[in-house]
Amino acid sequence: MSEFNSTTFQPFLFILTGLRELVGARLWLGPLMILMYISTMAGNCTVISLVKNEHSLQEPQYYFLSMLAGADIVLSVSIPSSVLKVFILGLHEIAFDGCLTQLFFIRTFSSMGSGILVTMVFDHFVAVSHPLQYTSILTNSRVTKIGLAALLRDVALMTPLPVLLKRLLFCRGQTLSYSYCLHSNVMKLACGQVKINILYGLVLVIFSFGADFLLIVISYALILQAVLGIASREGQMKTLNTCLSHIFIVLIYYGPLIAITAMHRVSHRSSPLAHAVLGNIYLFMPSMLNPIVYSLKTKQIHAALKKSFKIQRH
């Protein structure tokens, strides 16, 4: 541990706030968190299993969906050490190095999820604009390379985060606003030279989430242009309907992310409770809803799911 005086130090641990402002919250939040966690793991594991075993789902769009499910599983695995301890056992402490490790995995795989959303909208664009060349453009090897590129991009971008935080001294206490570790939240407790951390945080936002969101918007603009070129109204609606699941996932993914980013910019005006509630929505909801939305809205997955249940019954 670094030497410290009465005002600056490097902590052994941080205190996770959770939702302590809600009296008796553990009584109902603990079971709710367990239910959400089980639902998230079961849903995403089911998606991966269906894509692996069902021949009709072994296509690029479902490979990308299974990659998204994989990123959600790793993201979910990285949080029980703190979130479930806070809401079930009432233990609010997390070791400093454990906190840095957790925020690395959270940022890496949430960013990877964002990158996979871009590949999924690219898949839609190719299917709409170049249907005859679809299989030649999105070959299995190319899909694999795209997935690896998304992972390597985010590992490379996020690796400096814990390193930059490790060098800092802290002078604003040890209490974090959430039930898990978030880079911007930890950085707010630091003192001294944090300009590099702030600048690098901005670079991350621009080159990961910001760039991904821009690419998604541009891709949908191109898809809409291609759809308008379809002669029949029925054909236009049918094509747009194939994008609804993805659009909904983009909204539930980027909505809380944008809100929580804006809240950090005006943190002096927002309540700690609002921070904690929105922080847990940002972390849990997209991962839990992704497999549910695609299972309900995608006929092929719905059919494969029903077929799987029938086989298990027999």
Domain of 243, CATH number, reads: 1.20.1070.10
Domain span at 159: 13-313
Whether 65 maps to a domain, the answer reads yes
Whether 167 maps to a domain, the answer reads yes
Specify the residue for token string 């490097």: 10
Q: Provide the token pair at 262.
A: 């804006």
Whether 64 maps to a domain, the answer reads yes
Whether 89 maps to a domain, the answer reads yes
Distance separating alpha carbons of residues 80 and 180, to the nearest angstrom:
9
**Dihedral pair phi/psi, residue 211, rounded to 5°:** -65, -40
Facing residues of 9 across strands?
170
Q: Provide the token pair at 253.
A: 């993914």
CB-based contact 181:100 (threshold 8 Å): yes
Angle (nearest 5°) at CA 137 between 136 and 138: 100
Whether 5 maps to a domain, the answer reads no
Whether 194 maps to a domain, the answer reads yes
- pTM (2 decimals)? 0.87
Low-confidence residues in the chain, pLDDT < 70: 1-9, 18-27, 81, 263-276, 309-314
Three-state DSSP class for residue 16 = strand
Whether 210 maps to a domain, the answer reads yes
Report the domain count for the chain.
Answer: 1
Residue 283 confidence (pLDDT): 76
Distance separating alpha carbons of residues 85 and 37, to the nearest angstrom:
13
Residue 274 confidence (pLDDT): 66
Whether 203 maps to a domain, the answer reads yes
Facing residues of 164 across strands?
none
Distance separating alpha carbons of residues 231 and 268, to the nearest angstrom:
53
Distance separating alpha carbons of residues 237 and 121, to the nearest angstrom:
17
Q: Is 45 buried (19+), middle (13-18) or exposed (0-12) by CB count in 10 A?
A: middle
Q: Is 230 buried (19+), middle (13-18) or exposed (0-12) by CB count in 10 A?
A: middle
